[in-house]
Structure formats: structure tokens, C-alpha cells
Amino acid sequence: MASRGRILKYLAAALLAAFCLAFARTDTTEKSMVRAILLEPGEEEWTVGLLYQAPEASADSSEASDGIGFAVAQGTGLERALDNAASLLPLEANFRLCDYLLLMPGGNWQTLSSYESLVLARQCGRTSAQLAACDFTCQELSEATEEGEDLLTSLLQTLKRSKRALPRLYETRTDEGLLMPCLTMEETTLSVKPEGWFVSTDSSEEWDAQKTAVYGLLTGQGDTFTFWLGEHPLTLRRPLLGVEKTKDGSFAVHLDCQTAADSAEPTDTDLARLGDLCTQLVQERWSAGQDLIGLGACAALRDGQNAWLSPAKNACPQLRTDVAIY
């Protein structure tokens, strides 16, 4: 009897494994796995592009691989354009592995908010998707794809290498603005521009390379940050930010960094200038309604909740940023 019981247990385990395998195949390999969504609003119609992984190309992997396709369609609204693009896929669209959302020319804060609302209503994507901008259109990407067979795989790989610099869709709920890396395309070659693309509730604009690097240094958004403060580039990495409220009510901001292996060694003048650039950006963002480095929380932690500072209610406090190399 004991032997028969063991046989039944093994049989039950085998049946369960077979069921799970069948379910997994149904949920992934028998559907077109959308890996990235491209949003391009227009005056009359939206354009939506879908980077998808063909069912036969290891679609259940989070790694970029061959078998990537691109479908692009238009519609009178976001939802209709998305449905039209999804209808072009070989099989039913599955958004479980949709890791990236790309904002095309013409996109803005409202574009991101509209898409997030659609995701929450229809589960046609992920609110944790990472964001990037592009200076090319869906049509230009589609045409370049015909000439470069590996372009779409390269696009996913470029996004993966930039993951530390990519904000997430749910961060739009703060209404404070987001800085996104911007992808550019020359013929069939993709790269990330040194300039970033900043979007907020009332603006959508390109930031120059230096301002983009300062923002990344203060927020830790990225891997390395390059500045031209003299004749040679200064490249910093691994920033450690500390904020301290002093007795006179001002703030001391401490930024400790490492220099990259191929970077010039900074002088005291370089570090002082970089500190001034950091202070200026914090003040600029405060005036725009964004507490970039948490000054308000620092004040409340030191002096109690009633001491909380807000860009909406308070003028930017006095601060100084000191940059050091460790």
C-alpha cells in the first residue's frame, strides 16, 4: 500500500508539472510578448509602436534576443492607436514583459499620464516601465529597421545598458517632473545623447549635457557623469549625497564621488565650480516646484514635522554644495 501511495504522489506531481508547463507556454510562447511601447501623439491622430518578441524567440526571457519585431499603427486616440498596433502582431499581445516606454517627438507629461491611466484601466502595460525619449519618429524607426536587421535588438540592448538612468512611469504621480535619457539614431546606429529630455506638467524641453549630468549626479540617476569644467573632461561616478540643516537655518549639501578610470583629476577650482552648478540646479528646481534633494524632509527630521519646507509654500532656503573626491 505504501508503495502504491508513493506512485500516486509521483503521478500527481507529474500531472501538476505538466499543467504548469502547459499554462506557462500558453501565457508566453503562444503570445506576442511586447517589450517596449513607443508613444507619439499628434494633432489629429496618435501613433503607437510596439516592439515585440516573436513567440519562437525565447519570449519568456527578460533578456534582449533575436526575433524582435516592430508594429506601428495610428488611431484617433491613444487607446484606438494601441489596439490598432496590437492587431498587427502575429499573436495576441502580452504586456507582462513590457519593460520600457519611449516618448517620441511631440510627447509630453500628458502623454505619460494618459498612458498610465490606460494601463491601470486595461492592464495593457506596466506602471513600473522605465522611460526614455527619442529624437526620431516611429516611422523613421520602421524605415531604418528595414535596412538594419539587428536595429530593434540593439534598441533593447541600449535601453538595458541605460537602466540606471531611466525613471519609471509611476514617478509621474509626483507631478514634479522627470529627466529621461534621449536616444538618437544615425542611419542604423542607436546611441544615448549626452543631452537629456525633461518633462513636467507645464514643459517639455531638452536640457544641455552639463545640466543633465548635474541632475544625474544629485539624484544618482545614471552610472557616470561627465563635465567639461576645464580643458579635459571630468567623469565622476558613485555619488554619495548628504544633506544637513545647520543652526542658522541654511543647508550644507555634501557630495562625495569617485573619478572614473579615464577621467582627468579635478582641481579645487573644478570642484568648487561643480558645487555651484549643483546649488544652482537645486534652486532652479525648487522655484519650479520640485524639492530635488529632499530639503523639506531634512528640515522636518531635524526640527519636527512643523518645520517641513515645501516649494509650494516656502522660498528656497540658503544652501551650499561641497563636492569632494573619495
pLDDT digits over 105-162, tens only?
A: 999 999 999 999 999 999 999 999 999 999 999 999 999 998 876 899 999 999 999 9
Per-residue pLDDT at 23:
46
For residues 225 and 245, give the distance between their C-alpha atoms in angstroms, rounded to a whole number. 27
Cite the beta strand spans of the chain per DSSP E.
32-40, 46-53, 68-75, 93-94, 100-103, 130-134, 178-186, 189-200, 203-207, 224-228, 233-245, 251-259, 319-325
| pLDDT at residue 11 in the model | 62
pLDDT for the residue numbered 125: 94
The pLDDT of residue 219: 96
Q: What is the pLDDT of residue 66?
A: 62
Distance CA 91, CA 76 (A): 24
Listed as ranges, residues in the chain with pLDDT below 70 are 1-29, 55-66, 149
Residue 67: per-residue pLDDT: 82
Q: What is Dmax (Cα atoms) for the chain?
A: 85
C-alpha to C-alpha distance for 184 and 64, rounded to whole angstroms: 19
pLDDT at residue number 188: 83
The pTM (predicted TM-score) of the whole model is 0.84
